């Protein structure tokens, strides 16, 4: 194999890596030292290098957890095998770049920012020329700041160039690396549109009050559903950005758009406030002020869960169950319908059971990886036996609450034939028992609500329950 005498310089952020290390570090700071986030604007005022130093003094990403551009890495391995000199050239601090270079084991040297000026663009080119001496050199980059380097190199290589970048660069790229790009489907997956089904709970108080025929209330409830969904998506995005490293260690969550690098993590800084602005804008414009207050509380509760409570034993599942029940309360507020204590008690026990399924399946995945604990959670694999006992029992308690409600005097106010509601009892007992059996067998992945949406038998059970409710009103 003929040896290539030219030095190959490789950019790191969004070139070798499918992410930006500084942004990764900022989200790590938000996750582990949230109070220091208040210092970010002050650090930024003192310059880019100082900003990077302060952030990386407190956190640094795990090199093995960072997503890479596979085509670039494969190319570098081939060039290394041919005996070519390869240098990592990045504006990232050297103290951060060096461990990343060591992790890949293919770089002969590292050019990076130290205590001086930020090493980007023309400054990087100058250092590269000094290192190369009289030898020709090539450069792999990905954005407009790399244009002076491409123009000054003997060989220009690029990753995922846009049409605008090609025209602006005005160089002939000898190699173009094409990595999968985010599509509309990718963004819909990121905001978890499929999770919006949980917010259909806002319609429950309206239907249970037998007022679904009121078009005005139905439209109000729909707008409430939209605002809750947009707010929930913003929190989901925030949650994913804060859990990047934990998600990358999970067999399924590592495929999420931010964790995999399909969507740049810095885009989340725009998407989160955009979704929240839409949610609260719609709410303040057309919905009752009390509902907007409920939406604000929901955002606070879910953010507290994402930042802190999700790692706390037992509190996390109680919080998840409580958030489901809170949706029912919000649904009552948006259409001014009273939510009965029976409905709240039933939902709390039922959703506690489903929350335990979520933790149970997560620990099953941890066990398959031969690990003892789930990162970012307060549980160990040994807790699964306890969860397997408490979870089904919580579901059965929900069925008991329903039985007490059917046997109460309250039920005759809404149903002409309340005794028919007893047919719902065996349906729910079957559904709860079955989903726990399937979870134990490893057939339920992560979220039982999403599982139910894809499960034919769940549809049959819910359809039968709906028919029974209709018959009970006759």
Class of domain 186-472: mainly alpha
Instruction: Assign a CATH topology to domain 7-177.
Output: Rossmann fold (3.40.50)
- Give the pair of three-digit tokens for residue 302: 């879910």
- Give the pair of three-digit tokens for residue 190: 């990121």
Query: CA gyration radius for the chain?
Result: 27
pLDDT of 276 higher than 50? yes
Given pLDDT bands bounded at 50, 70 and 90, which one contains residue 425? very high
User: What is residue 442's predicted lDDT score, i.e. its pLDDT?
Assistant: 85
Phi first, then psi: give them for residue 314, nearest 5 degrees.
70, -45
User: What is residue 2's predicted lDDT score, i.e. its pLDDT?
Assistant: 46
pLDDT of 370 higher than 80? no
CB of 97 closer than 8 Å to CB of 56: no
Q: Tell me which of 418 and 258 has the higher pLDDT.
A: 258
pLDDT of 3 higher than 60? no
Environment class of residue 373 by beta-carbon count within 10 Å: exposed (0-12), middle (13-18) or buried (19+)? middle
pTM: 0.84
pLDDT (average), residues 271-297? 95
- Give the pair of three-digit tokens for residue 74: 């494969």
How do beta strands 155-159 and 137-141 pair? parallel
For the ranges 108-117, 133-142, 373-382, the maximum mean pLDDT occurs at 133-142
Best CA proximity match to 149, nearest among 177, 176, 113, 119: 119
pLDDT (average), residues 23-31? 92
User: What is residue 105's predicted lDDT score, i.e. its pLDDT?
Assistant: 93
CB of 155 closer than 8 Å to CB of 139: yes
Strand partners, 9: 87, 139
Per domain, the residue ranges of the chain are 7-177, 186-472
Q: Rounded to the nearest 10 degrees, what angle do helices 315-335 and 289-307 cross at?
A: 170
pLDDT of 147 higher than 90? yes
- How far CA 467 is from CA of 14, 343, 464, in Å, comes to 54, 19, 5
The string of DSSP letters for 130-154 reads HHHTTS-EEEEE-SGGGHHHHHHSS
Best CA proximity match to 86, nearest among 99, 70, 75: 75
pLDDT of 1 higher than 50? no
Given pLDDT bands bounded at 50, 70 and 90, which one contains residue 134? confident
User: What is residue 44's predicted lDDT score, i.e. its pLDDT?
Assistant: 93
pLDDT (average), residues 174-186? 92
pLDDT (average), residues 67-80? 95
Average pLDDT, the chain: 90
186-472: same fold as 7-177?
A: no
pLDDT of 443 higher than 90? no
User: What is residue 454's predicted lDDT score, i.e. its pLDDT?
Assistant: 85
User: What is residue 247's predicted lDDT score, i.e. its pLDDT?
Assistant: 85
């Amino acid at each position: 194999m003929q040896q290539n005498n030219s030095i190959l310089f490789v950019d790191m952020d969004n070139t070798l890596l499918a992410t930006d290390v500084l942004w990764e570090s900022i989200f790590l700071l938000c996750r582990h030292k949230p109070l220091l986030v208040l210092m970010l604007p002050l650090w930024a005022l003192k310059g880019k290098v100082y900003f990077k130093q302060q952030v990386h003094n407190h956190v640094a990403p795990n090199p093995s957890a960072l997503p890479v551009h596979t085509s670039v890495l494969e190319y570098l391995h081939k060039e290394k095998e041919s005996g070519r000199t390869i240098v990592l050239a990045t504006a990232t601090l050297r103290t951060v770049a060096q461990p990343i270079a060591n992790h890949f084991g293919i770089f002969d040297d590292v050019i990076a920012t130290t205590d001086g000026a930020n090493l980007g663009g023309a400054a990087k080119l100058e250092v590269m020329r000094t290192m190369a001496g009289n030898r020709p050199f090539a450069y792999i980059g990905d954005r407009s700041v790399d244009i002076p380097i491409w123009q000054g190199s003997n060989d220009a290589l690029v990753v995922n160039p846009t049409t605008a970048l090609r025209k602006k660069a005005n160089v002939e790229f000898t190699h173009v690396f094409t990595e999968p790009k985010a599509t509309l489907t990718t963004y819909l997956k990121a905001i978890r549109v499929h999770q919006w089904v949980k917010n259909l709970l806002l319609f429950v108080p309206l239907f249970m009050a037998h007022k679904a025929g009121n078009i005005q209330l139905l439209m109000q409830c729909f707008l409430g559903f939209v605002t809750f969904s947009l707010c929930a998506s913003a929190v989901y995005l925030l949650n994913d950005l804060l859990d990047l490293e934990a998600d990358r260690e999970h067999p399924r969550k590592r495929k999420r758009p931010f964790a995999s690098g399909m969507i740049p993590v810095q885009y989340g800084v725009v998407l989160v406030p955009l979704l929240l602005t839409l949610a609260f804008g719609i709410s303040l414009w057309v919905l009752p002020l009390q509902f907007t207050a409920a939406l604000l509380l929901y955002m606070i509760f879910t953010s507290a869960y994402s930042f802190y409570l999700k790692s706390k034993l037992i509190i996390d599942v109680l919080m998840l169950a409580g958030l489901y029940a809170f949706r029912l309360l919000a649904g009552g507020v948006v259409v001014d319908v009273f939510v009965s204590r029976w409905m709240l008690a039933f939902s709390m026990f039922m959703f506690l059971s489903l929350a335990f399924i979520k933790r149970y399946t997560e620990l099953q995945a941890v066990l398959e990886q031969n690990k003892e604990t789930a990162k970012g959670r307060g549980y160990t694999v040994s807790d699964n036996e306890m969860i397997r006992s408490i979870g089904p029992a919580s579901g059965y308690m929900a069925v008991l609450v329903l039985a007490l409600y059917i046997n109460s005097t309250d039920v005759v106010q809404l149903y002409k034939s309340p005794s028919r509601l007893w047919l719902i009892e065996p349906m729910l007992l079957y559904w709860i028992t079955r989903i726990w059996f399937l979870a134990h067998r490893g057939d339920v992945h992560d979220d039982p609500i999403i599982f139910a949406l894809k499960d034919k038998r769940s549809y049959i059970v819910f359809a039968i329950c709906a028919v029974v409710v209709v018959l009970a009103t006759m």
